[in-house]
Structure 1
Amino acid sequence: MGDENNLQQAAESTENLITWLYEQGSFVPFGKIVGEEKFSIVSDYLGTPSHAYDDKGGLVWERELDVYGSLRKGDNSFVPFLYQGQYVDVETGLAYNRFRYYDPQIGNFISQDPIGLQGGTRLYGYVSDPNGWIDILGLMARSIPTRKGHHIVPHAAATNLNISPFNSEFGVPSYYFKPDQVDPHGRMHGDGGMRTRYPLTMKQINKQNLTPEKWLGMLETHYNNPSIQDIRGDLRIVDRPGKPGILLAENVSPAQAWNKAKEWADAQRHVH
């Protein structure tokens, strides 16, 4: 059984029912219940399970993976979750990643990106940096926005388009999500078929012949989309080498964060 994309219960028979508990709004398991037995699961900063303990605090399972998710120590049988969003088939060693299967032996998916070259030239690629990125659906890599947050204006495109003062990875406004929200980062990028989804890469921007003004207009339209106004976060300046800095606005919606970022940009232009 599952709740949306999360596997909640698995059983070979009613006598061997397993219930999985997840951190709210994520794919990170924190508990396992088998009959009267209860286990706590500890995961790393990416949401990858590494240890499990019984209700008395005794270690019952531990696992160590290499950078691709292949086993270095332990097994996947007690907790069959690999990287966040992936469920391991113990018999084949492949990890079910919602829309594709991932092979930890080679560090790639075994089928092509459904959108082909629009997703880049690495058709079978997982993520560019597995130390800081995940792909919970097998469709689009996401960084874990804890240190640098979610840049209100994507800095790579802003740099290529020379949109000052947002044309930098540091010293610009970034949105740091409040905890216990359902995929706020994906929704901020327009995942889930939102009509206001905006292009992220220069290839996508050039394909649509967008000027900097039109692209910024698309960002504004998306951040004002009513369907994401339940998201909350703090707007801060990203300090070097990538950590939350000066607070610009606390506990604000995407629309409020966007407006505050524009105010900040206007102030920067007057200073310079």
Structure 2
Amino acid sequence: AQECRLGRSSSLYIYSDQGSHEPLARVDRAAPGEADEVLYYHTDVNGAPEEMTDGGGNIVWEAGYQVWGNLTHEKETRPVQQNLRFQGQYLDRETGLHYNLYRFYDPDIGKFISGDPISLKGGINLYAYAPNPLSWIDPLGLKCGSSYEQARNKALKWLEERGFKAERVNIGKFGSTRGKPVGMTTADGKTGFRIEYDERSGAHINVFSGKDKGEHFLFDASESIVTKLQKLFDLPSKPQRPIS
């Protein structure tokens, strides 16, 4: 996404993955003859920016949030005007509202200021942001869903409690993923995870440890995004878990 400022340079936003709304970096386009600058985002578990650093690792902006997205504090070491908030939101500094593509969100009350454009398809409360802003996101202002980052963190917490270490590539056994990387396991192959997509559950992470099967950690993503996530585990330096 690109932001153009009146009478100033433009900025290009880079996100963590295609289809993701979690910011990774911002490229500030300078005037002709000047060098562009890349600023890096550091986000919380829900993808909201907490810090922004320059190429030297120096903090140029940092903030803290209340539960529903209002800031407890905001500090700049130099003017950078960082306006991204919850995933998909952009702060309107004149009104204090967060632009959420399809409607505006008010962090003071934790609700949208207009009803859901998709009506009851987004839930019975037409003004609600999400049941829990610590584990849900609504980047478009239409319906809430869990992000990949949230699902991954929950899955890793479950696995780490069972001594998980990513030592072998987990290979798919069925369908289009057979013989392809889908996740990671321990050296003995007994504890690990798979990132998968199916019509019943959609995008999800399966975890296992021996006979102990964890829940499906669901997240909001298309099948093509899941395929790209699976390719992250195509690691030639790691041994593969054989297909049984």
Question: With structure 1 as the length reference, what TM-score do the two structures score?
Answer: 0.52
Report the Cα distance in structure 1 between the residues aligned to 2:75 and 2:93, rounded to whole angstroms. Answer: 9
Q: How does 1:101-180 map to 2 (within 5 A)?
A: 101-144=104-147, 145-146=151-152, 147=154, 177=195
Q: Identity across aligned pairs (percent)?
A: 32
Report the Cα distance in structure 2 between the residues aligned to 1:33 and 1:118, rounded to whole angstroms. Answer: 37
Report the Cα distance in structure 2 between the residues aligned to 1:88 and 1:59, rounded to whole angstroms. Answer: 20
Report the Cα distance in structure 1 between the residues aligned to 2:81 and 2:194, rounded to whole angstroms. Answer: 34
Residue 170 of structure 1 is matched in structure 2 by none
Report the Cα distance in structure 1 between the residues aligned to 2:195 and 2:2, rounded to whole angstroms. Answer: 25
1:24 to 2:17 alignment? yes
Q: What displacement does 1:56 show?
A: 1.4
Q: What displacement does 1:120 show?
A: 3.2
2:68 maps to a residue whose letter is Y
**2:111·2:128 contact (CA, 8 Å) conserved in 1?**
yes
**2:155·2:205 contact (CA, 8 Å) conserved in 1?**
no
Bigger shift: residues 62-71 or 22-31: 22-31
Structure 1 unpaired stretches of 5+ = 1-6, 150-174, 179-183, 189-218, 224-230, 245-252, 255-272
1:86 maps to a residue whose letter is Q
1:72 maps to a residue whose letter is T
Report the Cα distance in structure 2 between the residues aligned to 1:115 and 1:23, rounded to whole angstroms. Answer: 27
C-alpha RMSD over aligned residues:
3.3
Residue 213 of structure 1 is matched in structure 2 by none
| 1:236–1:19 distance in 2 versus 1, CA, 3 Å | same
1:12 to 2:6 alignment? yes
Residues 149-175 of structure 1, C-alpha deviation per residue, up to 9 Å, x if partnerless?
9xxxxxxxxxxxxxxxxxxxxxxxxx9
**1:112·1:124 contact (CA, 8 Å) conserved in 2?**
yes
Question: With structure 2 as the length reference, what TM-score do the two structures score?
Answer: 0.58
Structure 2 unpaired stretches of 5+ = 157-192, 218-225, 228-244
| 1:240–1:81 distance in 2 versus 1, CA, 3 Å | farther
